[in-house]
Amino acid sequence: MRTVTFLPSYRKIDVPRGTTVLDAAQRAGLSMNVVCGGQGKCGKCIVFIQSGRAEFDRQKFGRFFTEAELQKWACLACETIVHGDLHVLVPETPLIQDQKILV
């Protein structure tokens, strides 16, 4: 099992090698905005790998990122495969926030 730690919340989850970062996030209770259903088509699940071992095809999915984001190890959570313990920064943008309706 590999430990994936999501920042800034420090939520941790143990997952088998080969799990996607998106699956790990969902198992850890993080709700991410994945309009395409996790198929790598919408670019909404952007995360930043802070440390650890993961696999991501930058050639195939690089179109979703600026050069600056790529230098900070940006990747799509749905297309990033866990190979070792990871620390993953999840920006607020891809998270689905609980909404309250005032009446």
Residue ranges per domain, the chain? 2-89
pLDDT at residue 92 in the model: 80
pTM of the model: 0.86
41-52 residue pLDDT tens: 999 999 999 999
What is the C-alpha radius of gyration for the chain, rounded to an integer number of angstroms? 13
Per-residue pLDDT at 95 exceeds 70:
no
**Host H or E run for residue 10:** none
Enter the CATH code of domain 2-89: 3.10.20.30
Residue ranges with strand state E in 25-96: 46-55, 74-76, 81-89
